[in-house]
């Protein structure tokens, strides 16, 4: 999809008509959720992908003012659904105990559009209409398709995810599809401290639907977001510096979502800076994700358990049968044991 400036658009053609309508029917239908039509020779230009940002915002949003390039509140997508539901309507498991603060409104620009071409000729479009102080952006996520008369929206919902260096794609999960957003989060107090994150949003029918991530017993984990790397450093009572590291990957294997998680714990004596850190523990687990009616369900991870067990500032002697990972073979044995226990 090409975005062109308004001056070029209006210099080359005039919109004969731009009709936005919600035409969704109950049940399965080939009719679009909403559509934008142009007439005559202008249709060929639109089908070629020559469309400016303000027109694309106009297609995806209601209450969008093209003169100010701002969305009037309360914001709605083209189907009439609220982009940001009221706080009481949002699952507290998804937003957490300390929700991020909304940043002031500003005019939207071309940079607020993220567009990815799909294999079937359609486009995946994220219009970031709002921002938060934790680096997240929120706005409609849609699948659009060029038609002989304009643009049709085939699926839509709301995406809230980290916006820095974001990339979006669709992956097959069983008979449905999953939106995958890979982006970066940096600590506002330490801009060099950044981590990659993956946000998951199921596509159910023609609606992108946010679901909480929870364990099999119903315990809340949070939003369906996976931090690919994290670390934590604690100092034990004997002065040893213990470093915890977790590395994760998200794989889509034959329609199944799998999280691979490895936790490594190393101890370093600051009084002997020339000596390398000694491996204390290493464990890994493979977890599958299952999309349910109300949540994405998975087994518990290793990170919190190992932080709780081995992150105390008090020095703990290994219990019987719980030998420290002194070499690679011991570490591999423990990893296998932990993975087996987690299944």
pLDDT in tens, 74-102: 999 999 999 988 777 778 888 776 778 99
Task: Quote the percentage of the chain above a pLDDT of 70.
Answer: 78
**Distance (Å, rounded) from C-alpha 83 to C-alpha 70?**
14
From residue 218, how far is each of 93, 294, 300 by CA, in Å? Answer: 11, 11, 11
Which of the pair, 330 or 219, is modelled with greater confidence? Answer: 219
pLDDT digits (tens, 9 = 90+) for 124-144: 999 999 999 999 999 999 999
Question: Do 173 and 301 have their domain in common?
Answer: no
Kindly give the residue spans of alpha helices, DSSP state H, lying in 227-320.
303-310
Question: Do 28 and 171 have their domain in common?
Answer: yes
Question: Do 205 and 221 have their domain in common?
Answer: no
The residue with tokens 């190393």 is 266
Report the pLDDT averaged over residues 9-28.
Answer: 37
Question: Do 188 and 226 have their domain in common?
Answer: no
DSSP state of 57: H
Question: Do 177 and 66 have their domain in common?
Answer: yes
Task: Quote the percentage of the chain above a pLDDT of 90.
Answer: 58
User: Residue 98 sits in which domain range?
Assistant: 1-210
Last residue of a domain, one of 151, 179, 210: 210
Judge contact between 143 and 169, C-beta under 8 A.
no
Question: Do 234 and 161 have their domain in common?
Answer: no
- The reported pLDDT for the residue numbered 89 is 72
pLDDT digits (tens, 9 = 90+) for 137-189: 999 999 999 887 788 999 999 999 999 999 999 999 988 999 999 999 998 88
Question: Do 26 and 122 have their domain in common?
Answer: yes
Last residue of a domain, one of 210, 231, 261: 210
Report the pLDDT averaged over residues 223-248.
Answer: 95
- The DSSP annotation for 60-119 comes to HEEEEETTTTEEEEEEEETTS-BSS--GGGS-HHHH-SSPPPBPPP----GGGEEEEE-T
Question: Do 334 and 269 have their domain in common?
Answer: yes
pLDDT digits (tens, 9 = 90+) for 41-52: 445 555 555 578
DSSP state of 277: P
321: left (phi over 0), alpha (psi -120 to 50) or beta: left
Judge contact between 307 and 232, C-beta under 8 A.
yes
DSSP state of 219: -
Q: How many domains does the chain have?
A: 2
Question: Do 19 and 128 have their domain in common?
Answer: yes
**Distance (Å, rounded) from C-alpha 111 to C-alpha 120?**
25
Question: Do 235 and 113 have their domain in common?
Answer: no
State the pLDDT confidence band at 343, using cuts at 50, 70 and 90. very low
Question: Do 247 and 203 have their domain in common?
Answer: no
Last residue of a domain, one of 147, 180, 210: 210
**Distance (Å, rounded) from C-alpha 124 to C-alpha 16?**
26
State the pLDDT confidence band at 198, using cuts at 50, 70 and 90. very high
Question: Do 51 and 187 have their domain in common?
Answer: yes
């Amino acid at each position: 999809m090409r975005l062109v400036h308004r001056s070029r658009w209006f210099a080359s053609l005039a919109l004969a008509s731009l009709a936005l309508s919600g035409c969704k029917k109950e049940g399965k239908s080939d009719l679009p959720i909403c559509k934008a039509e142009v007439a005559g020779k202008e249709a060929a230009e639109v089908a070629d992908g020559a469309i400016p940002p303000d027109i694309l915002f106009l297609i995806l949003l209601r209450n969008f003012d093209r003169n100010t390039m701002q969305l009037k509140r309360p914001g709605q997508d083209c189907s009439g659904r609220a982009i940001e539901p009221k706080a009481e309507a949002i699952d507290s498991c998804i937003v957490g105990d300390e929700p991020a603060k909304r940043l002031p409104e500003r005019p939207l620009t071309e940079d607020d559009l993220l567009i990815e071409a799909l294999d079937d000729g359609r486009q995946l479009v994220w219009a970031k209409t709002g921002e938060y102080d934790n680096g997240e952006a929120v706005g409609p996520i849609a699948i659009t398709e060029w038609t002989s008369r304009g643009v049709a929206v085939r699926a839509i919902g709301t995406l809230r995810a980290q916006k820095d260096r974001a990339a979006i794609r669709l992956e097959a999960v069983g008979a449905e599809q999953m939106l995958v957003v890979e982006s970066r989060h940096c600590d506002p107090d330490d801009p060099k401290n950044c981590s990659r994150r993956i946000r998951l949003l199921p596509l159910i029918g023609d609606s992108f639907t946010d679901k909480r991530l929870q364990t099999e017993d119903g315990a809340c984990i949070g939003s369906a977001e996976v931090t690919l790397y994290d670390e934590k450093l604690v100092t034990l009572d004997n002065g040893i510096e213990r470093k915890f590291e977790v590395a994760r990957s998200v794989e889509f294997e034959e329609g199944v979502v799998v999280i691979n998680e490895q936790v490594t714990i190393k101890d370093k004596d600051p009084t002997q800076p020339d000596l390398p850190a000694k491996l204390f523990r290493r464990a890994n687990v493979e977890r599958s994700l299952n999309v349910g009616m109300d949540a994405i369900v998975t087994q518990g991870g290793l990170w919190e358990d190992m932080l709780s067990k081995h992150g105390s500032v008090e020095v703990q002697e290994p219990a019987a049968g719980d030998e420290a990972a002194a070499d690679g073979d011991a570490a591999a044995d423990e990893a296998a044991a932990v993975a087996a226990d987690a299944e």
